[in-house]
Every structure is written in structure tokens, then in C-alpha cells.
Amino acid sequence: MTVKIAPSLLSADFGRLREEVTAVEAAGADLLHLDVMDGHFVPNITFGPQLVAALRPHSRLLFDVHLMIAAPERYVADFIAAGADIVTVHVEACVHLHRVLAQIKEKGAACGVALNPATPLGLVEEVLPLVDLVLLMTVNPGFGGQRFLHFVVPKVNAAAIFLRDRNCQAAVEVDGGVDVTTAPVVAAAGATILVAGTAVFGAPDRAAAVRALREAAEGRDFSRGGERLGAATFRD
């Protein structure tokens, strides 16, 4: 079972972002997770497409851009033009979800749908043909370093089963409070991409941190009585 590690730039040192991105790529990360916040959909402000464009020439990592913004359709094209490989939008932020996902596809990026902890999984069923990734928040979005919400774990397992039963190959990603303690829990539940901020960027040895997360996630029994999603991959 291969689990992908996506360090979250939100926890990096913003005074030396180029070096931070280079460090996690050298450490063996699979993706770089970029949290975009607008101070409206979530109570924080981060960065826009200009930062994505500035970092893009310095990394071969897949840029996993998570738009925690209202009306994301206004900015999708800009982030893809800046170098986003994956663009994920929130169900809760989209009045016309199908239209926004189609817009992402038309611009050539992979397509993700995010759900806040209290948002029902069933809201993505009608758009699954467009979806490459389902992101389940394991914290309430807005700030890094929050405590993992364990009540979301059954939802992670439900998502894996939900996708498998519909013959959907979308990856299951989790974001929030992921560390060496929670990584095996969400991996055993069915997550195949783990977003980790403080656990990577807060560690003095980035390579050791990425390796520890991967080993923790892959060291559990994944059988789950036959209900576990298979070894789904994302853009291998």
C-alpha cells in the first residue's frame, strides 16, 4: 500500500519559501499542498496565484492547490495558469459545483472536491465523474496546527468504500492534524494522500519527518475486513 505525503506550505517559513519547497522535495515528498485562504470562506488570509507562479520554476512536485475561498470560479484559471497541477474546491463554497469542476477540467488540471468535517459525503455523488480527488478536512479549516478531529475517521473509511462501490478511482486525501500518531489511523481508514504541515515543516530533519509519516501510515493492517479501498494511486 503506497501512501503519498503532501507537506502543507501553510506551516513553512514564509521568509524562505523557495528553500522550504526545495527541502521537502529533496526529503521525498510526493506533492506540495498549497492552502489558499481569502478571509471570507475561512478566517485567515494566505496567498494568491502570484506565489504559486513564483514557486513553480523551483520544484517538480505536483502542486496541490486547495482553494478555501468563496466563489472559486473567479480564480481557477489564474491558479492553473500559475502552475497548479491539482485544484481542489470546497462543496460549501460553490453555488454551481459541477460548473466549477468542469472549468478546472477544461483548463487542464486535475480536479478535487473538499468537504469540511460536518459536511455530508453524499453531496459529491453527482459530480464523481469529474473528480480525481476527494479531500476530507480533519480540522475546521482556517489555521494550521490544529488538533485532529477523530470523529472524521469513520467518514474517511466511508469515503473509501463510497468511491470503490461506484467504481471511482479518485484518491482520498485528508488534511488537518496529521502526524505520526494520526497518519496510521487515517491510512487504515482509507486515505491515500496525507497532508501534513507542522509534522513536516516543524521538524528539524525534513527527510526524517517525511519518512516517519510514510512508515507510520504504511505500517498498519489495511484489511479492514475487506472493506478497505484498494491501492489507489494519484498521477503516478
Active site residues: 35, 175
Give yes or no for a contact between 136 and 159, defined as CB atoms under 8 angstroms apart: yes
Retrieve residue 236's grid coordinates.
503516478
Closest CA to 27 of 157, 196, 211, 221: 211
Q: Is 145 annotated among the ligand-binding residues? A: yes
Q: Is 122 annotated among the ligand-binding residues? A: no
C-alpha dihedral sign at 61, 64, 106, 136:
positive
Q: Is 48 annotated among the ligand-binding residues? A: no
User: Cα(first)–Cα(last) distance of the chain, in Å?
Assistant: 14
Q: Which helix (H) or strand (E) holds 161?
A: helix 153-165
Q: Is 226 annotated among the ligand-binding residues? A: no
Q: Is 15 annotated among the ligand-binding residues? A: no
State the burial class of residue 147 (Cβ atoms within 10 Å of its Cβ: 0-12, 13-18, 19+).
Answer: exposed
Q: Is 198 annotated among the ligand-binding residues? A: yes
Q: Is 47 annotated among the ligand-binding residues? A: no
Q: Is 190 annotated among the ligand-binding residues? A: no
Whole-Å CA distances, 27 to 49, 51, 96, 207, 213: 25, 22, 39, 4, 12
- Sheet of 86-90: strand order equals 4-7, 193-196, 171-175, 133-137, 110-115, 86-90, 62-68, 31-37
Q: Which residues are annotated as a binding site for substrate?
A: 8, 66, 142-145, 175-177, 197-198
Q: Which residues are annotated as a binding site for a divalent metal cation?
A: 33, 35, 66, 175
Q: Which residues are annotated as a binding site?
A: 8, 33, 35, 66, 142-145, 175-177, 197-198
